[in-house]
Chains A and B, each alone.
Chain A
Amino acid sequence: MKLLRRARRRVPVYGPDSTDTVLLSSVAAGETDALEILHRRHAPWLRARLRYRCSDHDQLDAALQETFLAVWRSAGSYTPRPGDDDAGAWLWTIAIRQLISQLRKRSNRWIAESEPEPYETVGDASAEDTVLLNIEHGPLGAALHGLSPELRSAIQATVLDGLTVREAAEILQIPEGTVKTRVMRAKARLREALTT
């Protein structure tokens, strides 16, 4: 029975040096070892990044746990962009959504969990990304330095993390309207700083 199932799903050959795409298709075929390699490769930086958004270690670890469980369950839905074998952006999308649902559980347990949206990679190497990759070195760095922390975190959640206004409101724990006005104000400030 097990042999049959294996033959049907066709597990690709994988090792610690395989690309994310190969590992994810092995995970989709039920290989726990492939998941372990992915976990070892991605959990540290995901955790470091989540730490900038949540100071509660328990919630953070729970979110990471859920992230990799979601990977285990829905690895088959991962579609790599052509020529890009890196699943970092996809994993981050899952991780930040899991963190938000963790925070939601904590703050209002009586609200029924909404259906999770399908995981899609955010920020398809857009213009924003290319600019952000050089934040430190370009004029944007100086402009961002000039922003107040509130405005910067609003920009971070909506642009860098690719969250919707509603999700940004949840993770920053401010009303949606406030997120919108902050993003607008931050963009105006940035435009001002970059054009003058």
Chain B
Amino acid sequence: MSTSWHLTHDQLHQYANHTADGVTAMSAEAHLTRCARCRSLLPADEAWLDRSWSDLRDVVDQPRRGPVERLLTAIGLRESTAKLLAATPQLYRAWLTATVLVLVMALTVAHELPRGSLLFAFTAPVVPLIGVALAYGRGVDPAHSLASVTPLAGYRLLFTRTAAVLVPALTLCTAAAFLMPSVSTLREAVFWLLPALAMVAGCLALSRWMPLSLAGGVVGAAWVLALVLFSLADGLDPSLLFTPTAQVSWATVLGLLAGAILLRVRTA
């Protein structure tokens, strides 16, 4: 708004130095709200201005949150948890790449060779396990010694990381399973799921006595050993590990292990 008059030099200085009387101050304020010219003539404390801006910049210059983080916050997670979940994939990017490669390889083999789909059946359950084993602990996380002294450390961090690994791993494996040749029933697409979850639970349960990565190694080795035994023994076949009866035992094991983990968290 253009006005016909402007504040005088003296009025501006009186106002800025807090020496204007009440009515002059009110008048000056009404004018300053609208008049950019008088505002720019108002004497300013440069040192204060710089300090104030640098304080402000510290807050404003923080990185803006990425799309994943915003999505996680939108579905109701706390801001810190969302940040943690979004940051975790940085730690296991190599694992993620490897997973994609292995699954692509398993798919190629399954499409090219007879009985090739067995390779997928044996690798799919281990993929989430390896991811979980590599998601937490000394030697994996460069900030582990820092993180281990925060209130977040321990089970909460462990489970958050596990969740951050399980979601992409299970998604990838399911996607791969649907790309397999001759998938007709739902059972043929998710037969690997229960063994995978049971092994992850076993790994988490074992982590009470050993580092998580070692626990993952032990469980993984047990799986390979089982495969070898089943192929060598007479009258046994590795695909027996996925029969409906076997699935029931996997479910039982998973339930028991989950119970054990919960109990341990409660009593910890």
Contacts and interface: CB of A to CB of B under 8 A. Distances in A.
B207 to A, nearest CB: 35
B53 A133 contact: no
A18 interface: no
Interface in B1-51: 1, 3, 5, 15-16, 18, 22-27, 29-34, 36, 39-40, 42-45, 48-49
A49 B42 CA distance: 11
A136 B32 contact: no
Contacts of B24: 136
B44 A44 contact: yes
B26 A160 contact: yes
A41 interface: yes
Nearest to A90: B33
B64 A30 contact: yes
A86 B36 contact: yes
A132 B31 CA distance: 8
B15 A32 contact: no
A84 B36 CA distance: 11
Given A41-B40, A44-B42, A135 B60 contact: no
Contact of B27 (A47, A86, A141): A141
Contacts of B150: none
B30 A68 contact: no
Given A44-B49, A52-B18, A61-B52, A88 B30 contact: no
A51 interface: yes
A102 interface: no
A11 to B, nearest CB: 14
Contact of B49 (A40, A51, A137, A160): A40
A88 B36 contact: yes
A107 interface: no
A129 interface: yes
A156 interface: yes
Nearest to B67: A1
A73 to B, nearest CB: 10
B16 A48 contact: yes
Interface in A124-156: 125, 129, 132-137, 141, 144-145, 149, 152-153, 156
A132 B27 contact: yes
Interface string B155-170: 0000000000000000
Interface in A159-179: 160
A69 B23 CA distance: 31
Nearest to B7: A136
A40 B57 CA distance: 13
Contacts of A28: none
A64 interface: yes
Given A86-B34, A133-B31, A160-B26, A42 B39 contact: yes
B61 interface: yes
B52 A132 contact: no
B55 interface: yes
B26 to A, nearest CB: 6
B186 interface: no
A84 B56 contact: no
B235 to A, nearest CB: 57
Interface of B: 1, 3, 5, 15-16, 18, 22-27, 29-34, 36, 39-40, 42-45, 48-49, 52-53, 55-57, 59-61, 64
Interface of A: 30, 32, 35-36, 39-45, 47-49, 51-52, 61, 64-65, 68-69, 72, 84, 86, 88-89, 92, 123, 125, 129, 132-137, 141, 144-145, 149, 152-153, 156, 160
In the A-B complex, the 10 residue pairs with the closest CB atoms? A44-B44, A135-B27, A132-B30, A136-B27, A144-B23, A45-B39, A88-B33, A48-B16, A45-B42, A89-B33
30 contacts: A32-B57, A35-B56, A35-B60, A39-B56, A40-B49, A42-B39, A43-B44, A43-B49, A44-B42, A48-B16, A48-B18, A48-B42, A52-B18, A65-B59, A68-B56, A86-B36, A88-B33, A89-B33, A89-B34, A129-B34, A132-B30, A133-B31, A133-B34, A134-B27, A137-B5, A141-B23, A144-B26, A152-B22, A156-B26, A160-B26
